[in-house]
Homo-oligomer: A and B are copies of this chain.
Amino acid sequence: MKGLVYRGARKVAVEQVDDAAIKEPNDAVIRITTTNICGSDLHMYEGRTSVEEGTVLGHENMGIVEEVGSGVAFTKVGDRVSVPFNVACGTCRSCNQGWTSFCERTNPNEGMQGAAYGYANMGPYPGGQAEYLRVPFADFNLLQLPPGSEHENNFTMLSDIFPTGWHGTVLAGMRPGDAVAVYGCGPVGLLAAHSAVIQGAREVFSIDFHDDRLKLAESIGATPIDPRVGDPVAQVLDATSGVGADCGVEAVGWQAHDPSGAEHPELVLDNLVESVKVHGGIGVVGVYVPEDPDGPNDAAKQGRIPFKYGQYFTKGQRMGTGQAPVKRYNAELRDLIIAGRANPGFLVSHELGLDVAPEAYARFDKRENGWTKVLLHPGQS
């Protein structure tokens, strides 16, 4: 079958790869109808990770069940399904407690918990930017979708970024009536904002310095805040009578940079501590890494982020972090989509065949204007 393969920094290619196949009794094989390029794919694409050459990328996958193993009891060939990016066993203690993002069994790397498809350090699972995908523990991992093709662009957000944005609001301890500050209007930040609006935020501040993204934020009911116009902290404080937002979401990650492009790993955390009120919560879904050999200074290389911790403590804030356990949220989010209350597909900018994926990576990586979210449909040419 064909798959998109990592071939070194800023090199990806569509190649013939091993067919996805049943290896264990609880496996299923999915024919991919839609697979998205994720902002975190760019970390690998840019060579900032240890992902191995030859890896098929792609962890935002959905499709149709093509084949099931002998132990699969409920999933049927022909079912339309969303595949959470977390590969989870469904039976360890983390999975039992709803923390599929920290499954204790699926990642064979020493000391690691949590696995994913086509991702650095997340286990030996080829990605889904390909014609087919093998899914372990299929009954547990797969989310059933209504048959047909309706809502494909909404449902494809269920594998990662809609649950991830939603998780940001949960980690932040968001409650109805809150004012919420979301740093970052990439796809995850926009869906964090969308999640906050759905849950009854009284106001959502979306902070970014790309015009197209600020417009999208405004289109879903958020208040755009542009750091090029002035200090975003001051803007949030002004809009909240000096109190600050009730909570905040970090949707940028360790490569945070100012409008000039200079990296400041502590920048967004500093801004969040200042923007959020006393005893407020901060949810961090932007990625920070334990080691960053290319970091701008020694602390950063060791994954140390010297943010304003003394102020954070003095304000009595709290902070939750980490990859989203997609399965905790995806059924409810699917139902909100079906009911017409959620519409995460608003951010799709491009729908392409698999063959042109390399060009899409290049343009998305440059944050070209209007390249917000790219969907690949492997079965289409």
Contacts and interface: CB of A to CB of B under 8 A. Distances in A.
A321 B322 contact: no
**In which size bucket is the chain A interface?**
35 or more
Query: Which of A69, A175, A287, A304 has the most chain B CB within a 10 Å cutoff?
Result: A304
A90 B93 contact: no
Contacts of A310: 254, 288-292, 302-305
Interface string A15-28: 00000000011100
Contacts of A292: 310
A209 interface: no
A140 interface: yes
A321 B327 contact: no
Contacts of A312: 288, 321
A309 B308 contact: no
Interface of A: 24-26, 69-71, 73-74, 89-91, 93-94, 96-99, 101-102, 105, 113-114, 139-140, 171, 175-177, 198-203, 254, 266, 269, 278-279, 284, 287-292, 299, 302-323, 327, 331-333, 335-336, 338-339, 341
26 contacts: A24-B73, A26-B26, A69-B71, A89-B139, A96-B331, A99-B278, A101-B316, A102-B316, A113-B278, A176-B332, A177-B332, A177-B333, A199-B200, A200-B200, A202-B335, A202-B338, A202-B341, A266-B304, A288-B309, A290-B311, A304-B307, A305-B306, A305-B309, A306-B306, A317-B322, A318-B319
